[in-house]
Copies of this chain bind each other. A is one copy, B any other.
C-alpha cells in the first residue's frame, strides 16, 4: 500500500488575513454578510493574535491589508503587528462580542463568526427565548459533540441599540448554555464559533441549514408528519 508523496498536495497554505478575505466572499454569497454586516475573526495558532475585519465596509471586497491584528483580548491592535494600510478603517463593531466567545465559550474557540442571514432572523421571530430544532435532524451531527438524536437548544437574547449592553447579554447566554455553539440575537443575527475556522464554518453551515429547515417545515406545516411509528415494512420483499 502506497501513500501519495506529500509534494503531490497542491493546497497552498494561506495567511489568516487572506483566509478571512476568502471566507468573507463565501459568506457574502451565502447571504450571511450582506450590506457590510457580519464577519469572522480567527485566532493565530498560538492564540496570541486575533484577526478581525474592519467595520462598516463591504465585507466581500475586504483586502488582506485591511484586516486588523489585535491582542488576544481583542482590546487593542497587537503591538507587534502592522495596522491596516488605510488609516480610516476601524475594527469590526462585533469585536467585543467575538472576544466574549473567545473568553467564555468551551471548548476554547479558534474562530468566531457573525451572520445576519435571513434564516437566522426568521428563527429569532419564530421562537421566544430559545431556538429549538425539529426532532431528529441528521444535520445536528454537523455540530461538534452532537448526535442526530440531540435537540439543538440555542439562547436568543434581545437586541439593543447600545453595543455594550449586548456584550453582557451574550456573555450571560454563553455561560448559561455551555453546550451551545451559538447565541442568537433577536431581529439581528447570531454568533457562531468553533475550535478552528473550518469547524466554525461547518458548524455555521449546519446551523443555517437547521434554521432554514425550521422556517420551511413550519411554512409547509410539515412539523407533525414526522417519522412513521414503525420501521419501514417492505411492501414487496425481493427474493
A contacts, CB < 8 Å to B: 1-6, 8-11, 34-37, 57-58, 63, 65, 77, 79, 81-87, 116, 118, 121-122, 125-129, 134-139, 142, 147-149, 155-159, 161, 169, 172-173, 175-176, 178, 185-189, 198, 201-203, 205-206, 208-209, 212-213, 215-220, 222-223, 225-228, 231-238
Contacts and interface: CB of A to CB of B under 8 A. Distances in A.
Contacts of A77: 1
Nearest to A150: B161
Number of copies of this protein chain within its complex = 4
A63 B232 contact: no
A57 to B, nearest CB: 8
Contacts of A218: 220
A236 to B, nearest CB: 6
Contacts of A178: 238
A171 to B, nearest CB: 10
